[in-house]
Each structure stands twice: as C-alpha cells, then as structure tokens.
Structure 1
Amino acid sequence: MNPLARRAVAELVGTAFLVMAVVGSGIAAQRLSPHDTGLQLLENSLATGAVLVALILALQPVSASFNPVVTLVERALGLIGSREAGALVTAQFVGGAIGAVLANLMFDLDAVSWSGHERSGGGIWLGEVVATVGLVLLVFGSLRGGRPESVALVVGGYIAAAYWFTSSTSFANPAVTVARMFSDTFAGIAPSSVPMFVLMQLIGGVLALGLVRFLFAAHVPEVVR
C-alpha cells in the first residue's frame, strides 16, 4: 500500500476510535450516573485519556496525530508536505464523523442526532485556546526531547486532566469537535457552537507553534517546500 494511504487510514481509524471513546463513554456515563454530572465527567475523562494512550502506542509507528491542529503544526515545522497534510486532515475529519455515528448506533440511538448542547462564552473560548496550546506544546516538546515513546502517556494524561482544569472541558481538536455535533448526548456540542471552538483551537495552534519554535529552535527542521 502507498505509504500516504497507510498513514491516512491510520489517522481515520485512530480518530474514529477516539471519538467513539469520547461520545460512547459520555453516553454510558449519562446512563450509569444520571444524577451526578461530576461523576459523568470523571468517567468520560478517564475513558478518553486511556484510549488516547492505547491508540497512540499502537498507531504511532504509522501515524498517530488524530488532530488537524497537530497535523497543521507538523506541516508548518516542515515535518510533512502540503499534500500529506491535506490527506491526513481529511482522514481525521472523516474518521471523527464515523466514530460519532458508530457510538450512537452502539447505544441504540439514531445514527445522527444533532446536539443541542450550546457551549459558548468568553471563558469557554479562552479554555479552548489554553487547552490547545498545552496539547500541542506537550506533543512537540516530547518529540523534540527525543522521547517519542512518551507522547502517548503525555497526551493521555494531559487530556484527562484538561477535561477538569479548562472551562471548555478541552476539546482541543477540530475533527473531534465537528464529530461531537452529530450526537445529542453528554459529550455533544451544538453546531452553532462549533465555528468558534474550531477558531479558538486554530488560534491555540498558532500560539503553540510560536512557542515550539522559540523553545525548541535548535531542533526544528527547515520547512519542506
């Protein structure tokens, strides 16, 4: 198989399973702990953090970004080319949508049910910027430090924690954000809230790119043309 096709499939499958974990555990938490929102968030965050560790460890030899912001920062740093970045980002969005549909179906819900969960406001938008800056910085900091094997634990641990310390519960991923609007459940987000979330994530990615270039300047390669 073409190497780029293999990478795209890894991103599609990985993002699909990530969204299944986010949405599916949210549905399960809602049903198992219907009267305790804090416990629901704990269950959702632990499942998401754990699946991230597992997916990154398994798929990292092929491709394991599962996040358009991370992929775009890779492109900006010259680690991948434009054609590759486009294919991987497309695969991430498609995989996310598939994951949301499968999570809904596993719990006997409609394949697609538009979320009515509005998430908006200055504090929440700031939370998405903070969450994304932290995620991207930790990913590339681990890689620049010559510790690629640590990325899985770093990302899984960070996201599980960021569910709690950010006001937005740390989506920090445009593909996952778009996918979550397809499920009117605990983890869902209303379509009207998605554009600002994605914009804040992109802003966070740009800020993180600046930090990565500044902090790890000696390790950043020339940009691929």
Structure 2
Amino acid sequence: MNTVAPWRRLLAEYVGTALLVTAVVGSGIMATELSPDDVGLQLLQNSIATALALGALILTFGPVSGAHFNPVVSAADWWLGRRHGTGLTGRDLAGYAVAQTLGGIAGSVLANLMFDLAAVTLSGKERSGAHLWLGEVVATTGLLLLIFALVRSGRAAVAPAAVGAYIGAAYWFTSSTSFANPAVTVGRAFTDTFAGIAPASVPAYVGAQLVGLLAGIGLIVALYPNAGAGADDVVVPHDSAEQARGRG
C-alpha cells in the first residue's frame, strides 16, 4: 500500500502527464519546423522524443505515484488489485484520472506557449475510422500486458526503458500512432499542431482505449492470474520506503 501523501501522488501524476504531453506536442511542433517536407521523418523525431521523455518521466515520478500518467493504467491497477488489497482504491483512481486529464490539457497549453502559439488552439486534425480505433485497441492492450508482465515477473525496475520503447515502437506499428491514453488524447485536442486530434475524434479514440482496457485485463487475468498481487508496483515500485526512513 502506498502511504505517500495523496496530494503528493496527485501532483506527481498531474505534472508527469503534463510533461509527457508537452514532450509529445512540443517534439511534433519542432519536427514540422525542422523537417517540413518529410512526414515520415517528422514521425520518427516525434516518436523518439516521446519514448525518451516517457522513460525519464517514469524514473522521475515513479517513486511517488507509480508514474501511471494514464487513466487506463490506473483503472487496470485498481481492478486487478482489488482482490488482493493492493493497488489504487476507488478514490485514488478518481483522483488519478482527474489529475492526469488536467495534466494532459496543461501539457498542450505549455507546448503551445513554448513555441509562441496561442495557449489553446483546438485541433482540426480529424482522426476517424475503424482501422484507427482498432489501432488504439491494440496499442492499449499491449501496453497493459507489458506493464503487468513486468510487475508479475519482478522486473518492474526496467519499466522506464520497456514502456518507453513500447510506446516509441507503437507509433510505427499501429495505424493510430498509439495514443493509448485517454488523458493524453484529451490533452492533444488542445493543440492544432502535428500531434493534435480534433475534439470530435476524441470520444471514439477514448472508447477504443477502454475496449483495450477490457481486453488487456482479460488477457492479464488469463496469462498472469496473480498479477494483481503486485499492483502496488505499477508502473514501477512506489512503496513508502522514503517515509519509512523518516525522510518523507
């Protein structure tokens, strides 16, 4: 059970998600400025920056909140941990989801401002189609399988590198470029840049991610029946060791 003060955990989730979206959006803007005529190169630059930033952010905020940065990850943590008395409580889940979503919006605003754009520019980039929604289901399911496989096998310490690598790769092997995160999806609606998504496209993307959540939980239960016992280590171990040593 994580006994770090709730406000500290929520702050970590808010700031971490904000910086993740800042990395996604900011690197997309920079990529279009540096390589204006090569969309493939733009995606490469965007995916590398996102993967590296995600790994660094998990290392930074993981000891406080677990570095979920994603309502789907938090929901899986809550659901799978209930039977074992581990992971997030229902109240924690609600707080995490709100903090992550607000952080996602703040991240887009910050990226816009850094590149001298209006603070809020709603995206006009339509992302719609069954093939894209399927890509989101695949990306989200795979992300959850990876995280809980690492926890179940006692390898959560490598999650920063593994999760960053997965997201970087999923940019390329999924048709949707792997949003796989409702908070990030909502946040990216607030920037009319390379990484943006039109507000009208957001509900279907989030719906697909929720389908991926259900599929991921089902596969995790089938493959790793006791994965919930390690829910306190999702995405990385975040027990109260610091507080136990009197340095909280």
TM-score (norm 1): 0.96
Q: Distance in 2 between matches of 1:218 and 1:143?
A: 10
- Report the equivalent of 1:105: 113
2:203 to 188, 195, 198: 195
Instruction: Specify the SS of the correspondent of 1:60.
Output: helix
2:19 to 17, 24, 30: 17
Instruction: Specify the SS of the correspondent of 1:126.
Output: helix
1:168 to 150, 163, 176: 176
Q: Distance in 1 between matches of 2:106 and 2:173?
A: 29
1:66 matched to 2:69? yes
1:38 matched to 2:40? yes
Give the letter aligned to residue 120 of structure 2: V
Q: Distance in 1 between matches of 2:46 and 2:227?
A: 36
Deviation (angstroms), 1:222: 10
Give the letter aligned to residue 68 of structure 1: P
Contact 2:220–2:227, Cα closer than 8 Å, also in 1: no
Q: Deviations over 1:97-138 (max 9, x none)?
A: 111000000000000001000001111110000000001110
CA RMSD of aligned residues (A): 1.5
1:89 matched to 2:92? no
1:77 matched to 2:84? no
Instruction: Specify the SS of the correspondent of 2:229.
Output: coil
- Report the equivalent of 1:129: 137
Alignment size in residue pairs: 223
Contact 2:152–2:226, Cα closer than 8 Å, also in 1: no
- Report the equivalent of 1:47: 49
Give the letter aligned to residue 209 of structure 2: Q
Counterparts of residues 137-152 of structure 1 (less than 5 Å): 137-152=145-160
Distance 1:145 1:222, change over 3 A: closer
Instruction: Specify the SS of the correspondent of 1:221.
Output: helix
Unaligned runs of 5+ in 2: 82-86, 232-248
Distance 1:23 1:215, change over 3 A: same
Contact 1:30–1:186, Cα closer than 8 Å, also in 2: yes
Q: Distance in 2 between matches of 1:154 and 1:86?
A: 27
Contact 2:52–2:164, Cα closer than 8 Å, also in 1: yes
- Runs (4 or more) in structure 1 with deviation over 4 Å come to none
Q: Distance in 2 between matches of 1:157 and 1:167?
A: 17
